[in-house]
Structure 1
Amino acid sequence: MDDAAPPSPKITIPTALTLFRIALLPVMVLVFYAPFRGSNIAAAVIFVFAALTDWLDGWIARRYDMMSAFGAFLDPVADKLMVAVTLFLLVQDNPQPLLAVTAAVIVGREISISALREWMAEIGQRATVRVATIGKIKTVMQVVAIVVLLHQRDFQELRYYRIGEGLLVIAAILTIWSGLKYVRAAWPILRGHQ
């Protein structure tokens, strides 16, 4: 019997960018709470930078054939962590019902669909719930809304903050819509019809 440890996952450039995106999380949290003028703008810039690394790691992985199982696992985890943590920060900073409910819908959907994908992968049906175009549009809307809300955090009475809230509500609606599309695609299998 071979007791050798399994090989460590290969860290490619896209995977390193994904790990860097995760490492930006505590930096963004510290900047968000930092007591200096413009911390809201700095937090928004860090979030935008993280979003750009998300696009860049995917592009590099496809362009230079650097896709890996570890990267495929880690990338959506990093995305969901960035969105969830930032939404928690925004709700804690401005605990009003609309923002709280919208954030709960977005985070709840992400947890539910991640669990669905994991289960579908276990039974060999992962392709049934692959990312759809509506999911990509939802992600872009979330990123734009969060950047506006971070940037306007200190000016919640301004219309730009309200625009950010409106965009987040639209993102939540798209979140529900895309989540229902995933469930619909998986429904025959969920009902036991293979």
Structure 2
Amino acid sequence: MNIPNLLTLARIIFIPLLVVLFYLPTTWSMPVAAGLFALASITDWLDGYLARRWNQSTPFGAFLDPVADKLMVAVALALLVERFDSVLLTLPALVIIGREIVISALREWMAEMGKRGLVAVSWIGKVKTTLQMVAILILIAFPPGHAVAELGLATLYGAAMLTLWSMIQYLKAAWPHLSRSM
């Protein structure tokens, strides 16, 4: 067990804490939940950076890191869908969660064929992740109808558009292998 793996595990431990904070009926719970999500987002970047910098990449970390990321984002988006109770937030949330399922399955399938490199994380994915994390942070911190929450919603739409774009790029890269299997 190394520090990058511990940071990844911390993200998973943060998930039930985020849920509890989200539902606490206090004035301070949402800012603290937003802070916890911000900390989780930072550990998402930091664990990968440290693993590469310190040459501490492990199979366990390679498996758990994307799982932790997807769980944290999916849970946060599900909480926000309930809180905002609006199709305007539900649509980009579904696009983001749906894409994660499709790309995870695609990466697993391509790995079985020895072609995982064709669907490796791209710069679009990194920008999408950054926008997604900023949007979720804003939407947790500010209540529905607040002007800053509207900015968060617009940012979430930007992330959803990049989500679709990156999914199309990954599917195009994998299409020659997918179409042979039909």
Normalising TM by the smaller chain, what interval?
over 0.9
Corresponding position of 2:178: 190
Question: 1:27 matched to which residue of 2?
Answer: 17
Pick from 168, 174, 178: which aligns with 2:166?
Answer: 178
2:58 match: 68
For 2:10 and 2:133, locate their aligned partners in 1 and report how far apart those are by CA, in whole Å.
18
Match of 1:127 in 2: 117
Aligned equivalents of 1:163 and 1:147: distance in 2?
11
Identity of aligned residues (%): 51
In structure 1, the residue corresponding to 2:114 is in which secondary structure? coil
How far residue 96 of structure 1 moved from its aligned partner, in angstroms, is 0.6
Q: How does 1:101-140 map to 2 (within 5 A)?
A: 101-140=91-130
For 2:109, give the aligned amino acid. W
Q: Counterparts of 1:70 and 1:125 in 2: how far apart (Å)?
A: 20
CA distance in 1: counterparts of 2:37 and 2:93, whole angstroms: 17
Q: Which amino acid aligns with 1:145?
A: A
Report how far residue 158 of structure 1 moved.
1.9
Aligned to 1:15: 5
Q: Deviations over 1:153-178 (max 9, x none)?
A: 2xx22211111111101110000000
Return the offset for 1:97: 0.6
Between Structure 1 and Structure 2, the one with more helix by share is 2
How far does residue 27 in structure 1 lie from its aligned partner after superposition? Answer: 0.3
Picking from 134, 152, 159, the partner of 1:164 is 152
Paired with 1:133 and 1:32, the residues of 2 have a C-alpha distance of: 31
Which amino acid in structure 1 is aligned with residue 80 of structure 2? L
Moved over 6 A (4+): none
Correspondent of 2:32 among 30, 42, 45: 42
- 1:107 is displaced (CA, Å) by 0.1
Summarize deviations over 1:43-87 as a string: whole Å, max 9, x none: 100000001111111111001100011111110110111110000
| Higher-Rg member (1/2) | 1
Supply the distance in 2 between the matched residues of 1:161 and 1:151 (Cα, whole angstroms). Answer: 8
Counterpart secondary structure, 1:106? helix
CA distance in 1, matches of 2:124, 2:90: 23
- Cα deviation for residue 16 of structure 1 reads 1.2
Partner deviation per Cα, 1:79-120 (whole Å, 9 max, x = no partner): 111110000000011111111111000000000000000010
Unaligned runs of 5+ in 1: 1-10
Match of 1:5 in 2: none
Runs of 5+ consecutive residues of structure 2 not aligned to the other structure: none
Aligned pairs, how many?
A: 181
1:157 alignment partner AA: G
Q: What is the alpha-carbon distance in structure 2 between the residues aligned to residue 158 and residue 128 of structure 1?
A: 42
